[in-house]
Amino acid sequence: MTEIFETQPDRADLPLVVMPASFASMVAPLKAHLPALADVARVRLYEEFTEDPDLIAERVADADVMINGGPHISDDLLRRISGGVRGGEGGHVRCIVFSGTGVASYIDLALARELGVRVCNAEHYGDAAVAEHTFALMFELLRHTGELDRRMKSGGWSGPYADGLQLAGRRLAIIGLGGIGSTVARIATAFGMRVAAWNSGHTPVSRFVELGVEPVDDMNELIAGADVVSVHMPLIDGATRGLITADNLAHLKPGTMFVNTARAEVIEPGALTARLAKGDIPAALDVYEREPLPADDPLRAIPGIVLTPHVAWRTDGAFAELTRQMVEDVRAFLTGGEVNVVVSEHDAVRGASRD
């Protein structure tokens, strides 16, 4: 039976906030922040994860605010829970608070604007978490600790993968020098790497100077000169979707490591799989064009790459900061403020993520 946690259940005079699905790791930190909603809202938290649209719609049927703990919200579900277009039949959710930054991958922002639903996210909560996972992936490519561990436990000792590579002295190319990319740059510098980043024209020059990062205007030049390429570009429709093209990836020289812990959609559809299929690029990926990654996806069969299931953001520190911001978003909406607003209920669509 699903555990349901509620606050102020007897306060029918207060707006109802419902989280219809949640990661187990998110429950305790979220509960710790709920006192901030005392006398502001009732909260109902379902302590399980589900993607079932009918179950989600049923659970938020009476909600004014929905906290989206991870499920993809289809256009049909968004219409159902919000009552169609501005007060039609169905639910009456007026605000959706997403548990993350890249909300554009989970909700159609243009449709939310049309329906008059505010959409909020959280920002910079996972800068350290994602940056650290980025280096975990790099080190797996460099030192193959997972394979060495398996060999040791099966009775082996030395052999293939015993000789590794080092980061020190290698050139790292960062695509996306926002909060996460900047954190990656600092760590890379500490490891003795030479760091460059794509100069999109939107990143302040002062950031490059502060971090000691070389700005490179041409992405092909940046990629061609790299030993490691790490993607940290946010997904913003009309701006970064498909920004990294097949032509850009063609400039990866054999042996260049390619890491993506950002969003798969910032790469031209199919381009990365096609490039990696050549077998000369060691890659590590945490994000995919389709999630969960289908069992028959060609990426699973390409040798020399490391795959993790979109978990870079999932650490104790990230959960604590994420849930704090989620509660702050809810409180601001219900008290007339604005925090982390991506889509305004007043038809103003803003960036899906900001530096």
pLDDT, tens only, 221-270: 999 999 999 999 998 878 999 999 999 999 999 999 999 999 999 999 99
Asked if pLDDT for residue 207 goes beyond 50, the answer is: yes
* Cα(113)–Cα(68) distance, integer angstroms: 17
CA neighbours closer than 13 Å in the CB half-sphere of residue 239: 14
Do 168 and 193 form a contact (C-beta atoms < 8 A)? yes
- Which whole-number Å values give the CA distances from 144 to 120, 208, 251, 303, 309, in the listed order? 39, 32, 25, 13, 18
212/216 Cα distance (integer angstroms): 13
User: What's the number of CA atoms in the CB half-sphere (13 Å) around residue 221?
Assistant: 9
Three-state DSSP state, 6: strand
In angstroms, the CA 92 to CA 81 distance is 6
- Mean pLDDT, residues 193-200 taken together: 97
Which tops the pLDDT comparison, 38 or 90? 38
Q: Which domains does the chain have, with CATH numbers?
A: 4-125+316-343 (3.40.50.720), 127-307 (3.40.50.720)
Distances (CA, A) of 220 to 45, 150, 239, 243, 281: 47, 38, 18, 12, 16
- Report, as an integer, the average pLDDT of 1-29: 96
pLDDT given at position 347: 66
Lowest mean pLDDT segment, chosen from 85-89, 113-117, 167-171, 237-241: 85-89
Q: Which residues are catalytic?
A: 263, 291, 310
What global pTM score does this model have?
A: 0.90
Averaged pLDDT of the chain: 94
| pLDDT mean over 141-164 | 93
Give residue 338's pLDDT band: very low, low, confident or very high (50, 70, 90).
very high
The predicted pLDDT at position 354 comes to 39
Confidence category of residue 83, pLDDT binned at 50, 70, 90: confident
